[in-house]
Amino acid sequence: MADRIRIDGGLIVAYQDGEHRILRDGCIVIEGNEILYVGRRFDGTVNQVVDARGQLVTPGFINTHTHLSESPLDKSFIEDRGRRQFAMSGLVEMLPVRGAAIDPEGREASVDYSMVELIRTGTTTVMEIGGIGDYVADAAERAGLRAYIANAYRSGRWLTRDGKRVEYEWNEEAGLEGFRRAVEFIERIDGRANGRIKGFLSPAQVDTCTEELLRLSREASDSMGVPLALHVSQSVFEFDEMVQRHGLTPVEWLEQIGFLSERCILGHVILIAGSSWVQFAGDDLSILARHGASVAHCVWVFARRGIAMESFPRYLEAGVNMCLGTDTAPQSMIEALRWTAVIGKIMARDTQKATAADVFNAATLNAAKMLQRDDLGRIAPGAKADLLFWSLDTLFMVPVRDPIKNLVYSATPEDLRHVMIDGQWVQRDGKVLTCDERKACQALQFAGERMWAEMGPGDWAGRSADELSPQTFRPFEG
C-alpha cells in the first residue's frame, strides 16, 4: 500500500454531485498520487497528517493556453504599444520582432522562469504551445508540473514590410513536415513522469494553415486521442482575411472543413461574428456549442490593448465550454480569474454575471472536460492529488465569508502557501521546492538584455527596442 496522507481542513472545495461545494472542517486522504477520500471523517490508518486548518484547499488550476519560451519576455516591451493600422494587435509587428531577437538560451531561460511563475500562481496543469517541446518536457518533469506540450506548425506566416499592410508567405511542405515532427514528438514524450507529461497537436493559426494541414491535424487528434489547439479569431486582420478567402468567419470555415470537435481547444475566439470590432453577421457561438469545442480565454493579452471579449457571460449562456489561459506575461491564473470576472461584468454591464463561480469553474472543471479528464480539476476520490493551499488569515484574504469570492477578487500569490501536484509537494510556505527562483530570475533578466539589444534586424524598419517601445520616462540628466 502506498503512503497515505490525511489533510485536515479548514475549508475544502470538494466535488459533489457534479459541482464544487464547500466542505468545512473535513479532510482529504491521499494515497500515492490520487485522492482516496473526501469527507467529514476518515477512520482508516494514515502515515502522515497535514494540518490545513485556517487554510482553503482548492483543486489546482488548469492553464489551457501558454507560450512558455516567449511570454516572460513580453514584459517591459510589449505594453502600451499598438498600431491602429492593425487594430492594436501586436501580432504583425511587435511579436515577430521579439521572437527573432530571442536567442536559444533566452528561450530556455523563459521556460525555466515559467516553471516557477506557474507554480507560484496556482497552475498545476499547463498547456504549452511552442517549438522546444523536449526542453519544456524536461523542465516540467524536474519542476513537478503536469504539462501538455505541443510543438506548433503552420503552412505560412504573416508579416508586414511597410507597417501598413499584412502579407502572407507560404511554405506548405514546411507545414506538413512540422506536422509529422509534432506527431513524432507526442509519441516520444507522452506518458513520461508518471503520466504527468503528455502531448497534443497545435497547428498554429487558422489563417496560416492550409485546409489540408488542418484536416490532417483533426484526423491525427482523433486517432491519437490527444487535444487539438488552434489560434482562431484573434485579430481583425485575420478575421478579414478569412472572410476574403472563403466568405465565411474563421469559425464557420472550421465547421465547413470538419475541424471542430470536443477535443478542440481554440485559442481566443474573441473577434467573432457580431463583434463590434469586425461588423460581420453570423452566429459563431452556436457553432462552437454544437460541436462541443472549447475556448481558451486569455483576457489580459487583449485587455492590455483595449480589446475585450463581447462577452464572457454571452459565451457561457450560448453553451460554449469556456476555459482560461494566460498566454502572455504575467502567467498568473490568479490574474486570469480576476480579470476575466471583472471585464466580463463590464462588457455585460451586469455585476451578477461572470461570477466567481463562473471563472473558478473555467479554470478547473471546464478545462478538465476539454482534456477529457475526470481526474483533474476537482477534489474527489479517484482524482489526481493536485491541490492548492491558500492562507485565510492574511491581509488580502480576511475577512472570509465566501472563500471563492475572496480568492477570485482579492488573493495574491503570497496567499498561496503550498502546492501539491501528483501527490508531491512542489511548494511549501511560499517557496517552490523544485526550482531555483533566484537563478531563474537572473537568467531571464540577462535574456531580456540580450533580446532588447538585437531588436533591429527583425523589424521591417530596423528600429531599436527603445524606438519600438519607448521608455515610460526620459532619463534623468545631469
Residue 466's contacts (CB-CB under 8 Å, 6 or more residues apart) are none
By residue count, the chain amounts to 478
Q: What's the average model confidence in pLDDT over 199-221?
A: 98
pLDDT tens profile 429-448: 999 999 999 999 999 999 99
- With beta carbons less than 8 A apart as the criterion, state whether 390 and 412 touch: no
Q: Where are the beta strands (DSSP E) in 34-138?
A: 34-39, 48-59, 61-66, 123-130
Query: H or E element: which one contains 12?
Result: strand 4-16
- pLDDT tens readout for residues 223-275: 999 999 999 999 999 999 999 999 999 999 999 999 999 999 999 999 999 99
Answer whether residue 1 shows pLDDT above 80.
Answer: no
Which helix (H) or strand (E) segment holds residue 214: the answer is: helix 211-224
The answer to whether 121 and 139 have CB atoms below 8 angstroms apart is no
Distances (CA, A) of 326 to 152, 241, 323: 17, 26, 11
In 3-state terms the chain splits into helix, strand, coil percentages (rounded to 5) of: 40, 25, 40
* Phi, psi (rounded to 5 degrees) for 444: -70, -40
Q: Please tell me the predicted confidence (pLDDT) of residue 288.
A: 98
Residue whose C-alpha is closest to residue 227's, from 203, 209, 207: 203
The answer on pLDDT for 477 being more than 90 is: yes
pLDDT of 90 reads 87
Residue 322 to residues 145, 175, 193, 250, Cα–Cα distance (Å): 23, 29, 28, 18
pLDDT score at 12? 98
Q: Does the bond joining 96 to the residue before it have cis omega, within 30 degrees of 0?
A: no
| C-alpha cell recorded at residue 368 | 478538465
Which percentage of the chain shows pLDDT scores above 70? 100
321-324 and 294-297: which strand pairing?
A: parallel
What proportion of the chain, given as a percentage, has pLDDT over 90? 95
Helix (H, G, I), strand (E, B) or coil at 36: strand
The residue-averaged pLDDT of 303-313 equals 96
Average pLDDT estimate for 67-73: 97
pLDDT in tens, 160-188: 999 999 999 999 999 999 999 999 999 99
CA 100 to chain centre: 23
For range 136-141, the mean pLDDT: 98
3-class DSSP state of 38? strand
Give residue-wise pLDDT tens across range 390-434.
999 999 999 999 999 999 999 999 999 999 999 999 999 999 999
pLDDT at position 83 over 90: no
Residue holding cell 491519437? 224
* Mean pLDDT (the chain, rounded): 97
Distances (CA, A) of 276 to 207, 238, 477: 21, 15, 46
Given this model, what pLDDT does residue 65 score? 98
Q: What is the mean pLDDT of residues 90-108?
A: 93
| CB 193, CB 143: distance < 8 Å | no
CA distance linking residue 28 with residue 6, whole number of Å: 6
pLDDT-derived band at 302 (thresholds 50, 70, 90) equals very high
